[in-house]
Amino acid sequence: MADVVLFHHAQGLTTGVTAFADTLRAAGHDVHTPDLFEGRTFPSLEEGVAYAEGVGFGEIVERGARAADKIGGDPVYAGFSLGVLPAQMLAQTRPDARGALLFHSCVPVSEFGSEWPEAVPGQIHAMDADPFFVGDGDIDAARALTAADPGVELFLYPGQQHLFADSSLPSYDAAATAVLTRRVLEFLLAVPA
């Protein structure tokens, strides 16, 4: 079974993020959900992004790194949207990384180094008409990453919802999340020890 560090999105550590973590725990995985917002949650994505901008995206990434330092182990780093920033940085830069799960977002590999480490498998999950994932260029970063590293897969789901895997939000898509969850559980069983 895998150790997973799962970082939340810009609306905070919602009950939907913890429910997703609980689903992974029920399958036998050890899942940590650091709170990068120090207990704050936001009713809208815009409010959460405004808070993150005020704190600074660099500080959000550093909070993720500090949380990972406290957890230790050889984890799979995972993140929902904003949480992809610390997850992707840690997956690219930490020798302990066993894998990466990037939900609803992907940034260019050049943000955290020159290339993706060959030994780190990954998955990227997003909707094919998500205005943030498609409109902000994340899809291009995801395609470039998967083209450069065959160990990283991109899964696109039909729809335009951004945070579709968070069951506590109106954007939740149960059918897409069921497929995503199945793929994630298969991935976690296959990551190298």
pLDDT score recorded for residue 187: 98
How far is CA 131 from its chain centroid? 17
Give the C-alpha separation, 11 to 163, whole Å.
Answer: 10
Interval 143-191: pLDDT, tens: 999 999 999 999 999 999 999 999 999 999 999 999 999 999 999 999 9
- For residue 25 the two structure tokens come to 């725990």
Give the C-alpha separation, 81 to 11, whole Å.
Answer: 10
Assigned superfamily of 3-190: Alpha/Beta hydrolase fold, catalytic domain (3.40.50.1820)
The set of residues, in sequence order, having a beta carbon less than 8 Å from that of 1 and lying 6+ positions away, is 27, 28, 29, 30, 188
Residue 127 near residue 106, CB atoms below 8 Å:
no
Interval 97-143: pLDDT, tens: 999 999 999 999 999 987 899 889 999 999 999 999 999 999 999 99
Q: How many CA atoms are closer than 13 Å to the CA of 86, on its beta-carbon side?
A: 30
pLDDT score recorded for residue 193: 67
The set of residues, in sequence order, having a beta carbon less than 8 Å from that of 100 and lying 6+ positions away, is 76, 77, 78, 87, 88, 91, 120, 121, 122, 123, 152
How far is CA 183 from its chain centroid? 14
Residue 51 near residue 87, CB atoms below 8 Å:
no
Residue carrying the six token digits 């940590």 = 32
pLDDT score recorded for residue 73: 86
Domain regions of the chain by residue span:
3-190
Report residue 77: phi and psi, to 5°: -95, 130
Interval 64-105: pLDDT, tens: 999 999 998 899 999 999 999 999 999 999 999 999 999 999
E strand spans, the chain: 3-7, 30-32, 76-80, 99-103, 122-127, 152-157
Q: How many CA atoms are closer than 13 Å to the CA of 181, on its beta-carbon side?
A: 20
How far is CA 31 from its chain centroid? 13
